[in-house]
Each structure stands twice: as C-alpha cells, then as structure tokens.
Amino acid sequence: MGLKEYKPTSPGRRDTVADDYKDITTNKPEKSLLAPLNKKGGRNNRGRITVRHRGGGHKRRYRIIDFKRDKAGTATVMSIEYDPNRSARIALVRFEDGIKKYIVAPNGVKVGDIVASGDDVPVTTGNSRSLGSLPTGTLIHNVEVTPGKGGQMVKSAGAVAQVMAHESGYTLIRLPSGEMRRLLSNCSATVGQVSNLDHKNEKLGKAGRNRHRGRRPSVRGAAMNPDAHPHGGGEGRAGIGMPGPKTPWGQPALGKRTRRNKKTNKFILRRRYDR
C-alpha cells in the first residue's frame, strides 16, 4: 500500500494523510464469507452504556476469517481486499477442491501466490506451521495461544513476532511489544509480517473521519464539573489535584497496570515494560 497527501483545499484536508488503496485488487467481497454485524453503540443487554465513545459509523458486514489455517492442501490467492473490521488487509484464497476462505493477508503476498498449511510446507511467507517446526529467527504473525483455537495474537497491520528459541515442548517468541513469551510448540503461526505497513502513518485530518468509524467524541475530565469527574471543577485551568490521574469513577488511569493473570506469569520471560 501507499499513502497520499491532499492539497489544503479545506481545514480538514490540510493535515489528512490517507491510504491510497492501490494494493486492493477488488471492491466486492465474497458473499459466502459475509455475516451480519449489528451495532451495539457500546451498550450491553440491559441497554446501559458499558463502553463509552461508541456509536454511529458506517454500516459494516463481518468477513469470516480463517484464523485456524488448519485445512490441508494448497490454496491460491484470488484477491487482496479491504476489511472494514480490521487494520490489516485480507486475502481471499481458493483451495483445489473449490472451497474459499479469507485469511489475514501477509505483507508481500500477491494474487496468484500459493499458500499452504502443515509442518511439511516450506517456510515461506503466507504458509502456516506449528511453532516448534519453525527455525529460530523466523518472522511470524497470527499466533495461536491455545492449540487448535486459531490465531489470537499479532494480527493487526504491520505486526510481526519472531521465533527466538525452542525448549522442552515450548517455543519462545518475541512479541511486537517487546515481551518475550513461551508458547506451546504445537501452537500454529503464519510466516511473515502482517500487511498494510503504512497504517500507522495515516492521519485522519478531521473529527468526521472518526465518526465514520463509529467513534464518538470524548471530553477531558478537567473540562467537566466536579460532580461529573474527579478532575473537574476549580477556577480557570486547575490541575487534577490528586496523586495520579483518575477515571470518571475514581479508579487509577493512564499507566496503571491491571494484569492479574497469575496462571500465565511463568510463561512470560520478559515483560514489555522491561525493554
């Protein structure tokens, strides 16, 4: 993909840096792999807002993605497509028996390329293998955490992890955050880096682009009244007046570590904070 900048014909256009979508090969998704995607507006089953700043946005249909990559045989890449539900591109692949599936498109994969799954396939971009069968130093994405569950990590645009070592049925990988983590060697992963590398360099340019994505405005706590937020109130521009920033409900915010999964601590060799 590439980026395009606009002439400053309006205040919103002045700072916009947008995707040029030149890597997209079709604008019509595969109908058999679409599913409805109802909007929730950040509300739960009781109608209460549980996630703030959600609502509106363009209507979407969900693309059913094959994160497991467990079908045997080779598949041909038919198209590279845009997916409104993720930052990465997706690739439509067709197997020899005619079955079509969507996969997260690796960087560099083109229409006509062949992808496959299994421990006996080549270690080339787009192929899926178990972690234990990959050489050390291999760049990977779409990484499983639980064998057979499908890829759960390293799926966003430009993301990539690296195989570091193998030991006693576990494989040590370095995640994009810098965290070093052990995973079972029979978990699968896809070789290569996720597509759409320039996604991080895009600039929306105006608030309306966020509204199209279903993101509503947020208000600074310091701009609120004292009954609406712990940071609110005061004369003029007042400081927050407390040890550390807080959420609207008085809980610690902005950097407070909330991880409490002691069961998996033993699998983490280096935390992302320790880089």
Convert the pLDDT of each residue in 15-31 to its tens digit: 999 999 999 999 999 99
**Residues 54/216, Cβ–Cβ less than 8 Å:** yes
Which domains occur in the chain, in start order?
3-200+260-274 (2.40.50.140)
DSSP per-residue codes, 108-155? T--TT-EEEBSTTS-S-TT-EEEGGGSPTT-EEESEESSTTS-EEES-
The model's pTM is: 0.91
The contacts of residue 120 (CB under 8 Å, 6+ apart) are none
DSSP per-residue codes, 18-73? EE--TT---SS--GGGEEE----TTB-TTS-B-SSSB------EEE-B--S----S
Instruction: Tell me what the mean pLDDT of segment 135-143 comes to.
Output: 97
Q: What is the pLDDT of residue 132?
A: 95
**Residues 144/189, Cβ–Cβ less than 8 Å:** yes
Number of C-beta neighbours around residue 80 at 10 A: 20
pLDDT in tens, 224-254: 999 999 999 999 999 998 889 999 999 999 9
Instruction: Tell me what the mean pLDDT of segment 174-191 comes to.
Output: 97
Mean pLDDT over the full length of the chain: 95
The two three-digit tokens of residue 205, written as one number: 């340019």
Instruction: Tell me what the mean pLDDT of segment 29-42 comes to.
Output: 97
Q: What is the pLDDT of residue 1?
A: 66
Considering the chain, what percentage of its residues have pLDDT values greater than 70? 99
